[in-house]
Amino acid sequence: MTGVGLFDSFELGDLQLPNRIVMSPLTRNRVVPGEDAPRDIVAEHYSQRASAGLLITEGVVVSAGGRGYVSTPGIYSDRQVNAWRTVVDRVHDSGGRIMSQLWHVGRMSHPMFLDGYSAPVGPSPIQADAKVYLPHGSTRPHLPRELTTAEIGAIVEDFGGAARNARLAGFDGVEIHGSNGYLIDQFLHDGSNSRTDRYGGAIENRARLALEIVDAVTREFPASRVGMRIAPVSTHNDMTDSDPQSLFEYVVTELGRRGIGFIDVIEGQLGGSREFGQLDYVRLRELFGGAYISSNGHDRESAANMLASGSADLVSFGRAFIANPDLVERLRRGSDLNEPERSTFYFGGPRGYTDYPQSVMA
């Protein structure tokens, strides 16, 4: 389908989206440390942005063992589920639709975040050349411990349990976080996965965890209410692969066979250039067959062009939504956008989170 625009409606399975503008998942570190549950300002933040066709939450960790950042939320305890129910209710009361992004950081962690000061886990004992952020500065991620096959099965169950909790909290669906150098991505890429068992080596093996997680999650939500975020060529958090085209052609084909609702594709380098190199994103879209969200660095013009050309069904915005709760209306009117205040991206309270002006909608 070509010739569509940002403000045309879209049917994502049985979920009716009033426009094709998606709010990207954005980690903002605004939860209460120790509880890992969203507080009232989180509900306010998302409800302010409910005019988006679809909101996707910040990464929400599926278990205590999946943590790797200060003040990020989980969805594995009753307290967390109840807190998220408040967020979801506020968004629905404001007319919005919201999905939870399910997350396990894998090797991108440090013992201080984990019970018993234990080592983080990953597909292989390969330390990432990246940074994790502690309460008082940053450091390199700890050397991970290689997961056993039994532990991998338990993590699959954690994702299924998190999806069940997301359903109980009232979310409209879930996005599985398969990008940005976190656990699923670590299994996918051969630069971080040197296993020789059924979860390593051949592409089919490296994709096994991702697909088992999808199968677990779709037992809790209809497949049309499930998506996966992928980043085929981004090197964020030390991701490399010898043949990303073949890898992600296989992944999206298998996701399409499972009938999930969408793939959310970070095109190019996360937070950087949208240059695609040799990767054929059009081919990925064709092989998947479901809804395609184009992500990474869009402005109004590039987003409109993606939709008009038929290159995407939906387009996501990240930083623009940080500073413009009324982004949909500003884009509709061609109004100037507020500039985000970078110093407030992470941590803190209402400043830079719920206090950006919404004069366009006044």
Residues with catalytic annotation? 182
Instruction: Indicate left, alpha or beta for 95 from its phi (over 0: left) and psi (-120 to 50: alpha).
Output: left
In whole angstroms, what is the distance from residue 87 CA to residue 169 CA?
9
Which amino acid does the sequence have at 107?
Answer: R
d(CA 47, CA 84): 12
Q: Considering only CA atoms, which of 266, 158, 174 is closest in space to residue 212?
A: 158
Among 344, 308, 345, 314, which Cα is nearest to 99's?
A: 314
Q: What's the rounded Cα separation, in Å, for the pair 40 and 275? A: 39
Token pair, residue 148, equals: 């056993």
Q: How many residues does the chain have?
A: 362
Give kind and range of the element (H or E) at residue 48: helix 40-48
Identify each DSSP E strand in the chain by its residue range.
10-12, 15-17, 21-23, 54-61, 98-103, 121-122, 132-134, 137-139, 145-146, 173-177, 226-230, 262-266, 291-295, 314-317
**Which residues, listed in sequence order, are joined to residue 138 by a DSSP beta bridge?**
133
Closest CA to 183 of 265, 243, 103, 101: 103
Cα 167 to Cα 102: distance, rounded to the nearest angstrom: 12
The answer to whether residues 75 and 60 touch, using CB atoms and an 8 Å cutoff, is yes
